Structure 1
Amino acid sequence: MPAKLSVNLNAVAMLRNRRDLPWPSVMHLGRVALQAGAYGLTVHPRPDQRHIRFSDLPDLRALIDDEFPSAEFNIEGYPSEDFLALCERTQPEQVTLVPDDPAQATSDHGFDFRTQSEMLRPIIARLKRGGMRVSLFADGDGDEEAVQLAKATGADRIELYTGPYGGCFDAPAKAKDMLELLGRTADAAEALGLGVNAGHDLTVANLPALVKRIPRLAEVSIGHGLTADALEYGMAETVRRYRRACGETI
């Protein structure tokens, strides 16, 4: 089964926030993405609201519930009490926990499961009691012990941090090495019954090799590259291009 595409709307929101104006509309472009066949929408609300605003979340939740009930809402963030309460109010289908400092420009590493597993266990249990699937941002470095520790937290999935792979756009030999490490990490997770998602710097160009190496990849969350392509092709056609890159026949 092809990996499912979740469209990350952060870059759209960041462009909107450059002016005190309601466009580009996060809601409208989220609707266009879902109409074009995206499986879901992803947001990463940060404490400073520099892209997605807390006020966007109820509207996006309602968009999915009212118009696309088979789609999923995925909310990413560092598991502070404020973030957990936000998730409990919004009830996304999936929560992706990341180890980011609030000041970071973007997510750039996975959890250190050797030191952070104990912190994560009660948080994951709390979210799962609320009916939410939990995914943990993880380095795709082939570390099987780290994957075992991630499994022991009670998480449902890991999300492979694919930034190093995406950063090899002009170095094909290095990209091949990074891809194999991601594949080994995914193999270890799947052997333990963990689902595998992926995200960060994924593009139409590098997705096919990723989904070929990880054929049971559940979901990819894509924002920056997809939004950049949407400036050229439009959101609907861009979503279709990414769906084909994920292996869908459309």
Structure 2
Amino acid sequence: MMTTLSVNVNAIAMLRNRRDLPWPDLESLARIALEAGASGITVHPRPDQRHIRLTDVPQLSTLISRSFPKAEYNIEGYPSEAFLDLVCRIRPDQVTLVPDDPAQPTSDHGWAFETAAELLAPVVGRLKAEGMRVSLFADPDPAGYEIVPQLGADRIELYTGPYGATHSDPDARDAELSRLSLAGRRAQALGLGVNAGHDLTVPNLPPLIAELPFLAEVSIGHALTADALEHGMAGAVRRFLGALSGSEA
């Protein structure tokens, strides 16, 4: 099973929002990414709409359902009532729940499952009842992972930010890779699917896949968008797909 690529388009939306103009065109670039072989699109709508706007969410859902019915739509967010109402209306293939404070610039930690179980249990139940796969954002530390199946979640998404931050330090990279390997294998042993995301790049994907060949999905936005400035969106997607398959150095 090859790990699939979901393209996070938040960075594109943030660039668009710098001006009161309709470009870069989010729907057009999502279409290019899917045509180039991406398996899905990820969005993370935040309350302040600083990148993905609420109007973007149904627009991208329509694009996928009409033009790319085999692709998946993944919506990330903190399980506020407004967020839950949104995803229950859109019904994406996957909902990734993150423990973000609304003021955070980006996701930077996973759930503390021991203390969050009371919050998460009814949320997961509600989303599963609506037919959505549920993934929970997780630190690369298996403490508390045994609670996740009890909550009814299908997957975890390993937070790979610390791994991505080791781009110029091989020793630190190896240490973080070991943490991810231990966490991912513990999740797999518990019967959970394993996703990964945050600061993944063309160079650091192959070692991650070698350690965790059972990864179901990686969600990539910042580095892929940066690559697209040089290679175009289609070229960037192909580069990341190559890194996932081992054919891109």
Provide TM-score, normalisation by structure 2: 0.98
Return closer, same or farther for 1:213/1:140 CA change in 2, 3 Å cut-off: same
Q: 1:91: which partner in 2?
A: 91
Q: CA deviation at 1:249?
A: 6.3
What are the equivalent positions in structure 2 for 1:90-239 lying under 5 Å apart?
90-141=90-141, 143=142, 145-239=143-237
Letter in 2 for 1:92: P
1:54 aligns with 2:54: yes
Identity %: 62
Q: CA deviation at 1:151?
A: 2.1
Q: CA deviation at 1:147?
A: 1.1
- 1:151, 1:32 → 2: CA distance? 36
> Are the aligned partners of 1:12 and 1:227 in contact in 2 as well (CA < 8 Å)?
yes
Q: CA deviation at 1:181?
A: 0.6
Letter in 2 for 1:147: Y
SS in 2 for 1:234: helix
> Are the aligned partners of 2:11 and 2:225 in contact in 1 as well (CA < 8 Å)?
yes
SS in 2 for 1:188: helix
1:79 aligns with 2:79: yes
Deviations, residues 143-169 of structure 1 (Å, cap 9, x unaligned): 2x3111222211000000000000000
Q: 2:31: which partner in 1?
A: 31
Letter in 2 for 1:211: I
Q: 2:241 aligns with which of 227, 235, 243?
A: 243
> Are the aligned partners of 1:113 and 1:149 in contact in 2 as well (CA < 8 Å)?
yes
RMSD (Å), alpha carbons: 1.0
SS in 1 for 2:145: helix
Q: CA deviation at 1:248?
A: 6.5
> Are the aligned partners of 2:164 and 2:200 in contact in 1 as well (CA < 8 Å)?
yes
SS in 1 for 2:49: coil
Letter in 2 for 1:179: L
- 2:144, 2:160 → 1: CA distance? 16
- 1:35, 1:205 → 2: CA distance? 23
1:64 aligns with 2:64: yes
SS in 2 for 1:146: coil
Provide TM-score, normalisation by structure 1: 0.97
Letter in 2 for 1:21: L
Letter in 2 for 1:169: H
Q: 1:6: which partner in 2?
A: 6
> Are the aligned partners of 1:108 and 1:161 in contact in 2 as well (CA < 8 Å)?
yes
- 1:243, 1:164 → 2: CA distance? 22
- 2:131, 2:244 → 1: CA distance? 28
Letter in 2 for 1:53: R
SS in 2 for 1:140: coil
Q: 2:41: which partner in 1?
A: 41
> Are the aligned partners of 2:206 and 2:246 in contact in 1 as well (CA < 8 Å)?
no
Letter in 1 for 2:163: Y
SS in 1 for 2:245: coil
SS in 1 for 2:137: strand
Q: Give the 4+ runs in structure 1 shifted more than 2 A.
A: none
